[in-house]
Amino acid sequence: MLAGLSHGQAVVLMVANAAMWSIAGVVTRQLESAQSFEITFWRSLFTFLSLLVLLPLTQGRDVFKGMRQGGVSLWLSGVCWSVMFTAFMLALTMTTVANVLITMAMGPFFTALVARVVLGQRIDVRTAFAIVMAALGIAWMFGAEVATQGWLGFVVALCVPLAAAVNWTVVQRAAVRGLAVDLAPGVLIGAAISCLVTLPMSMPFQAVATDVAWLALLGLVQLAIPCLLSVACARVLKAPEVSLLALLEVVFGIFLAWWGAGEEPSSSVLSGGLLVLGALLAHQGLAWRERQNPLT
């Protein structure tokens, strides 16, 4: 269904993905009764149910047969997705949307570090400098916000880019060994694991009907649909393009939380966030330039 995308169509879809990903914060702020693990449970449940329908529609009925042949790498990817799902929603209940999104922007740098340790991939000077600058931005945010927001939300939020880094490294390592890990079924597995893990801690349920409706929206629109679209876009766009366009989630998410929930980011978040995003933009921009002009 999504085969044969042009470059322009893939760019438009990635912008749409970022917009859909970004609604999590503002939607979470609309909930009346659902708390903590229950929020994660309902979103993961509706993601799982949505993918049960969408995966066969987009990849054919054989997609579930392929899951049985995915091996250890597919299940490790699923575990990583489950950590990302759970930590992301929990972090949103512990600290501000801006703190969570900017912390998540560290993902590409954590990926470089994990790939260096596991795969032996070299970290060039450009990447090392960007990692240091982004770390300084996170440290500035953490130091300024911990007095008012506490440190636990930051720690939980950090689990998201760390799990994403491990996930990407698992996929790369499998590719080196000649195995193809389809990320979309991994998301389905991750949603199922997240449901099972958070269910006992969600009881007794407190969510009212409107809460469940909001979380159903997140499961379908904020996670399941953009997940499938991003997998299709990744077949067309280069890695730096995907990373740069995905950064729009941070911008959209902070703006929506500010506009739709009155959650104004502090000056420390804005300054630290600009340092993180600036480091990532500069890094990815230089990487894109090198890919376009490999001989210069």
- Nearest-CA neighbor of 52 among 177, 183, 170, 220? 220
Q: Nearest-CA neighbor of 166 among 233, 228, 82?
A: 82
Dihedrals phi, psi of 217, to nearest 5 degrees = -60, -45
- Determine the pLDDT at residue 66: 65
Mean pLDDT of the chain: 81
Residue 191: its pLDDT value, please?
94
pLDDT digits (tens, 9 = 90+) for 235-294: 777 665 676 677 788 888 888 888 888 888 777 777 877 777 777 777 667 766 766 665
Q: Determine the pLDDT at residue 82.
A: 94
CB-CB contact of 17 with 233 (8 Å): yes
Task: Output the pLDDT for position 288.
Answer: 67
Beta strands in 142-242 (DSSP E): none
What residue has token string 């229950």? 38
pLDDT tens readout for residues 71-129: 788 888 899 999 999 999 999 988 888 888 888 877 777 777 777 777 676 767 777 77
Cα–Cα dist 141/155, whole Å: 13
Q: Please report the sign of the dihedral spanned by the C-alpha atoms of residue 228, residue 282, residue 105, residue 213.
A: negative
Domain boundaries, the chain: 7-292
Structure tokens at 90: 């929990």
Stretch 166-190: mean pLDDT: 77
pTM for this predicted structure:
0.82
The number of residues in the chain equals 296
Q: Which residue has the higher pLDDT, 142 or 57?
A: 57
